[in-house]
């Protein structure tokens, strides 16, 4: 249906968005690459010349690198595990007939709309404060010693806060997927004598496979980049320094731009590995 004329028009209409994103991607990326091969300390002498792959080597051999990788993996893995498992259970439950389903849905997804700095600070102070927090009250009520959440169990605390933020996302997407499941198929299985557990394992779960993959991939990309939750709770102390946070500290706090940029290149590569899988699924969907 497209004419020569409309093709040309289409190209012009697409140009601003494509151009802006191209600039937004290429300019900073090129600069990061450029800095990563330099000894560049803005506050201590500025540009001190080329260093080859020195920054790349130093970044991965520094004593804080592997702990930060481990922290990142624990947080991403922990949050994924909790949100996917609970998300599936919650989605199945919310799909059942009940009174006030709409209201429960609203209650469940509400945390997703809370800005990260608010949820981190509310949890840090009103729940996890070792003196006045609700958890401290609860622990004392049962005669236990209150836990210094963000210093003694820092990683678990962060995983908990972030899981609370992302559980709604997982639940909502899985619920949407479950609702597209053919009811008659489930009923046929039930008439053939399949137990609830069998119906879940052999019909519902396979049906959810794609949605689960998408939840995992999208969350991984966002979770690799969590920042505010750590910034306002521990500031990277007590073993909560993720790869993202380490790079942030190198670049803005200690102003070692060359080293931080090399770290940034690693982060970009890591995110791209995850992104490739996600894009493949999304791309297939485009053809359909």
Partner 1 sequence: MARAVTTNRKIINTTAAWAIGLLIFFPILWTILTSFKTEAQAIADPPIFLGFDWTLENYGVVMERSNYMRFLTNSIIIAGGSTILGIIIAVPAAWSMAFVPSKRTKDILLWMLSTKMLPAVGVLYPIYLLFIKMGLLDTRFGLTIVLMLINLPIIVWMLYTYFKEIPGEILEAARMDGASLREEVLYVLTPMAIPGIASTLLLNVILAWNEAFWTLNLTASKAAPLTAFIASYSSPEGLFFAKLSAASTMAIAPILILGWFSQKQLVSGLTFGAVK
In the list 83, 158, 169, 236, the residue contacting partner 1 (rule: CB under 8 A) is 169
Asked if residue 221 binds partner 1 (CB under 8 A), the reply is yes
In the list 111, 147, 156, 200, the residue contacting partner 1 (rule: CB under 8 A) is 111
Binders of partner 1 in range 245-274 (CB under 8 A): 247-248, 251-252, 257, 260-261, 264-265, 267-268, 270-272, 274
User: Do 110 and 166 contact (CB within 8 A), yes or no?
Assistant: no
In the list 45, 52, 96, 145, the residue contacting partner 1 (rule: CB under 8 A) is 96
Asked if residue 43 binds partner 1 (CB under 8 A), the reply is no
Minimum distance from CB of 82 to partner 1 (Å)?
12
Structure tokens at 3: 């004419």
Count of residues touching partner 1 (by CB under 8 A): 108
Asked if residue 87 binds partner 1 (CB under 8 A), the reply is no
Binders of partner 1 in range 126-165 (CB under 8 A): 126-127, 132, 134, 137, 140-141, 164
Separation in Å, CA 88 to CA 8, 33, 51, 161, 174:
47, 41, 50, 19, 6
Asked if residue 227 binds partner 1 (CB under 8 A), the reply is yes
In the list 43, 45, 52, 99, the residue contacting partner 1 (rule: CB under 8 A) is 99
């Amino acid at each position: 249906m497209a004419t020569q004329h409309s093709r040309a028009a289409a190209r012009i209409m697409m140009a601003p968005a494509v151009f802006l994103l191209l600039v937004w991607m290429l300019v900073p990326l090129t600069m990061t690459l450029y800095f990563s091969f330099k000894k560049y300390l803005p506050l201590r002498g500025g540009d001190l010349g080329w260093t080859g792959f020195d920054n790349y080597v130093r970044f991965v051999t520094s004593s804080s690198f592997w702990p930060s990788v481990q922290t990142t993996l624990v947080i991403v893995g922990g949050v994924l595990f909790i949100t996917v498992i609970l998300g599936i259970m919650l989605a199945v439950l919310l799909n059942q007939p009940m009174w006030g389903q709409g209201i429960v849905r609203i209650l469940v997804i509400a945390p997703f709309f809370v800005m990260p700095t608010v949820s981190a600070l509310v949890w840090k102070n009103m729940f996890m404060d070792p003196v006045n927090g609700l958890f401290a009250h609860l622990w004392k009520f049962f005669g236990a010693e209150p836990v210094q959440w963000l210093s003694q169990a820092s990683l678990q605390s962060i995983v908990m806060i972030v899981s609370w933020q992302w559980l709604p996302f997982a639940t909502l997407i899985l619920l949407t997927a479950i609702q597209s499941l053919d009811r008659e198929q489930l009923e046929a299985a039930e008439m053939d004598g399949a137990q609830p557990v069998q119906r879940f394992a052999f019909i519902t779960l396979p049906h959810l496979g794609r949605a689960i993959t998408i939840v995992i991939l999208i969350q991984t990309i966002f979770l690799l980049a969590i920042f505010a939750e750590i910034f306002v709770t521990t500031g990277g102390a007590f073993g909560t320094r993720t790869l993202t946070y380490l790079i942030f500290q190198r670049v803005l706090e200690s102003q070692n731009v060359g080293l931080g940029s090399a770290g940034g290149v690693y982060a970009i590569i890591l995110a791209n590995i995850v992104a490739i899988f996600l894009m493949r699924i999304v791309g297939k969907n485009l053809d359909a």
